[in-house]
Amino acid sequence: MALSGKTALITGSTSGIGLGIADVLARNGADVILNGFGDWQTAAEQLSRHGGRVGYHPADLSQAEQIEALFDYARREFGRVDILVNNAGIQHVAPVESFPVERWDSIIALNLSAVFHCTRLALPDMQAQDWGRIINIASVHGSVGSTGKAAYVAAKHGVLGLTKVVALETAQSGVTCNSICPGWVLTPLVQQQIDARVAAGETPEQARSALLAEKQPSQAFVTAEQLGELALFLCSAAAQQVRGAAWNIDGGWLAQ
Ligand code: NAD
């Protein structure tokens, strides 16, 4: 299988996009390390059915020292990380003037600084073996803004910048770094935004349709499975010269 012998660390993989990507990588032969605050036992059981090893570490990635503990665990138990998927992320919606300062700090810590910390800790082993894949799950919000999402949009723009720098610093090696930029994907993170609209008087169906109608011309959600297949391509030899890309998978959001 394409990823036999590789270890993939997927941050924030107990639900949503991270779990979907972990599933595709495990199905294609990778050993996987899960992380996140959700029901990791159920996720691990699901992924174990693909036959590879599945590990889990509960690091809170908003804390740099816990990220170091995560990498110590990965090295101790799996030898090294060949594929790093920086996926963990949170959202908060409020106008700038009333944006809670602690939410700003936690979004920047998780959605941006954790990507830096995981990358700096993953790179030495990847460089030593001259092969590695760093895949950052950014967002269409790495390229455009939306009202109410100051911290998220700032962090995701930062992730695209960091991706370019890492891609340049590894350009003459077997290590690549790219971002995937999804539009709407129906995960717990987006469900929260649907729930907020329902609380404001819309039906769940109206809320889902309104979210899509505002931004996503296809009127269909991107799926975690589709994101997993794109990540799998970025791990392939065919993608060796894809470097520093911000790969949109957004139902046409950024084509507008
Ligand atoms: P989700 O809420 O389903 O999953 C987030 C994961 O991160 C969970 O496993 C959660 O436990 C984990 N997590 C949260 N805080 C953490 C912390 N401090 N330390 C470690 N793990 C933590 O969300 P999702 O929609 O699957 O989002 C995953 C990524 O995709 C995020 O970076 C998000 O910005 C990005 N994204 C999502 C969408 C979308 O429409 N859902 C669109 C574009 C980009």
**Model-wide pTM > 0.85:** yes
Per-residue pLDDT, 189: 87
Residue 60 Cβ < 6 Å to ligand 1: yes
- pLDDT grade for 38, boundaries at 50, 70 and 90: very high
**Is residue 59 one of the residues assigned to a domain?**
yes
- Please pick, among 73, 104, 152, 184, the residue that the annotation labels catalytic: 152
- pLDDT grade for 155, boundaries at 50, 70 and 90: very high
Average pLDDT of span 79-86:
98
- pLDDT grade for 128, boundaries at 50, 70 and 90: very high
Residue 188 Cβ < 6 Å to ligand 1: yes
The reply to whether 213 and 112 lie within a common domain is no
CA distance 202 to 194: 9
**What contacts 24+ positions apart, CB below 8 Å, involve 191-197?**
192/91, 193/91, 193/93, 196/93
Q: Give the closest residue (by CA) to ligand 1 atom 41.
A: 185
Q: What are phi and psi of 170, to 5 degrees?
A: -110, 10
Whichever domain contains 95, its CATH number is 3.40.50.720
Question: Tokens 């299988």 identify what position?
Answer: 1
Domain span at 163: 7-183+222-250
**73 belongs to the catalytic site:** no
The proportion of the chain whose per-residue pLDDT surpasses 70, expressed as a percent, equals: 100
Q: What does the mean pLDDT of the chain come to? A: 97
Q: How many structural domains comprise the chain?
A: 2
The reply to whether 89 and 199 lie within a common domain is no
**Res 224 pLDDT > 90:** yes
The reply to whether 104 and 205 lie within a common domain is no
**Is residue 1 one of the residues assigned to a domain?**
no
The reply to whether 242 and 208 lie within a common domain is no
